[in-house]
Amino acid sequence: MVDYSKATKRQLYQIATDSALRMSVRYAAVRELQRRRGEKTDN
Protein backbone atom coordinates (compact mmCIF):
# COMPACT_ATOMS: atom_id res chain seq x y z
CA MET A 1 0.00 0.00 0.00
CA VAL A 2 1.29 3.43 -0.93
CA ASP A 3 1.10 6.33 1.51
CA TYR A 4 -0.35 9.06 -0.70
CA SER A 5 -0.37 11.55 2.18
CA LYS A 6 3.37 12.08 1.62
CA ALA A 7 3.08 12.75 -2.13
CA THR A 8 3.05 16.25 -3.53
CA LYS A 9 -0.03 17.56 -5.32
CA ARG A 10 1.86 17.36 -8.60
CA GLN A 11 2.75 13.71 -7.98
CA LEU A 12 -0.86 12.90 -7.10
CA TYR A 13 -2.10 14.60 -10.25
CA GLN A 14 0.41 12.66 -12.38
CA ILE A 15 -0.73 9.39 -10.81
CA ALA A 16 -4.40 10.26 -11.25
CA THR A 17 -4.00 11.05 -14.95
CA ASP A 18 -1.67 8.17 -15.91
CA SER A 19 -3.81 5.82 -17.99
CA ALA A 20 -1.17 3.08 -17.73
CA LEU A 21 -1.86 2.65 -13.99
CA ARG A 22 -4.59 0.54 -12.44
CA MET A 23 -7.84 2.37 -11.80
CA SER A 24 -7.64 1.62 -8.06
CA VAL A 25 -4.27 3.39 -7.84
CA ARG A 26 -5.54 6.38 -9.80
CA TYR A 27 -8.67 6.55 -7.66
CA ALA A 28 -6.62 6.52 -4.44
CA ALA A 29 -4.61 9.49 -5.72
CA VAL A 30 -7.81 11.40 -6.54
CA ARG A 31 -9.24 10.65 -3.09
CA GLU A 32 -6.11 12.08 -1.48
CA LEU A 33 -6.37 15.23 -3.61
CA GLN A 34 -10.00 15.60 -2.58
CA ARG A 35 -9.12 15.05 1.07
CA ARG A 36 -6.52 17.82 0.90
CA ARG A 37 -8.94 20.16 -0.83
CA GLY A 38 -11.49 19.51 1.93
CA GLU A 39 -8.92 20.30 4.61
CA LYS A 40 -8.02 23.55 2.86
CA THR A 41 -11.63 24.78 2.76
CA ASP A 42 -12.30 23.79 6.39
CA ASN A 43 -10.01 26.53 7.72
> pTM value?
0.83
Residue-wise pLDDT tens digits, 1-43? 789 999 999 999 999 999 999 999 999 999 999 999 998 776 5
CA distances to 24, 41, 43 from 13, rounded to whole Å, are: 14, 19, 23
3 by DSSP, 3-state: which? coil
Distance of alpha carbon 33 from alpha carbon 43, whole angstroms: 16
Nearest CA-CA partner of 5 in 27, 35, 26, 38: 35
Q: What number of CA atoms fall less than 13 Å from residue 16's CA on the CB side?
A: 16
